[in-house]
Structure 1
Amino acid sequence: MEFRYLGDGKYFPPTLPNGDVYGSAPGVSASHPVKLMMLCDDRIQLNGIFLDWITIEGVSLGEGIVVLHSSKYRKRDFAFHCDGMVFRGYHGHEFKKTHQGYDVLYALMNRITFELQRIEKELDLF
């Protein structure tokens, strides 16, 4: 996928900036969103788990669940419900269901893809 820089920290296709993603995980009540992760420059922070971008192998969708794949921990996959994800950036206080007109989930998956492509380019020495 090719990401085009639009200026002011924005890309197309849209990528979530640093901030907090809220929603629900399998086995947890979906009635009230909880903080699922924090997006940072160098990693994704889950509840007590730090996944550096370089340890993330990808992200996939299936039957209402998004799965984050990582090589860092024995439990390699971290699953979340697709529905109801909202985002709150560091400088804003409101929760947003969309980013640049696209669902938060779409922009989250784009951010992961963007970071993986960036790392691949940095590691490609030849």
Structure 2
Amino acid sequence: MTLFDRIKTISKERGYSIAEVERKAGISANYMYQWKKRNPSPKALASVADVLNVSVDYLLGNTDIPEPSTSSDDLTKNQKLIAYSIDPDISDEERQAIINMVKEAMKFRRRL
């Protein structure tokens, strides 16, 4: 399932049209339709995830669990966006490696 397909599906489940999601997320009308062929900005992706109350990982297809986690061990949305924005065309394995490195750095920082 593509990014746009996931957004369309979860929007429908939440009772929103694509236009409503765009308006609530503060992005231009019809902007999400462009996501069928190109990657969105990390900021726009985070805004849409907030509106739909899902994680950025869910929208990107990295997880099938739509709800954002509330665990204190999980990465914040901004940290996930950093991993995504480094290079949106990297493989899922490389993206996960970046996320894992940030998680380890967070654990180390908590010990200090």
* TM-score > 0.5 by shorter chain: no
| Higher-RCO chain (CA-CA 8 Å, sequence separation at least 6) | 1
Bigger helix fraction: 2
